[in-house]
Amino acid sequence: MKYSLYLCLVLLFTNCSEIMHKKYFYSDGNGNGYILNGDTLRYNPIDPMHSSSGHYSGGEARDLIIQEEERKVIIDLINEAISKPEIQEDKRRKGTGMITIMQGTEMERYIIRWKTEQQRKIEEALRGILEE
């Protein structure tokens, strides 16, 4: 009985912490994907078969452990972009950036206009981390 109660409590608190944890997804102007989940940054590049040109490749997929300071920079840049409705679009078009934030079952999605300062900053920060 004690074991069952302990297991239920562990599962309950594990699920609660997962619900409160935010995951950030970013798709750059070329369609390469970045997932920020805790201290992990996952890079999911687009391949030629899925690129609009049929030739572009975003390189190799990677998972990186990042520093808290790098994580904070990315989140701050994302928050800056989503706080500016004047740089957001209703539909995804070629070249735009797309931000998705998930927390539990809640999802927010923002499309960032092509060639804005905020899009450039987010993409430069993400590429910079990948190049380290």
pLDDT digits (tens, 9 = 90+) for 33-83: 999 999 999 999 999 998 888 889 999 999 999 999 999 999 999 999 999
- Domain assignment present for residue 126? The answer is yes
Mean pLDDT of all residues in the chain?
88
Q: Work out how many domains the chain is built from and give that number.
A: 1
- Domain extent, residue 48, equals 22-131
SS3 39: coil
Query: How many residues can be counted in the chain?
Result: 132
Q: How far apart are the first and last CA of the chain?
A: 51
Residue pair 66/129 in contact (Cβ under 8 Å)? The answer is yes
CA–CA gap between residue 119 and residue 99 (Å, rounded): 10
Residue 120 lies in a domain: yes
Q: What is the pLDDT of residue 19?
A: 43
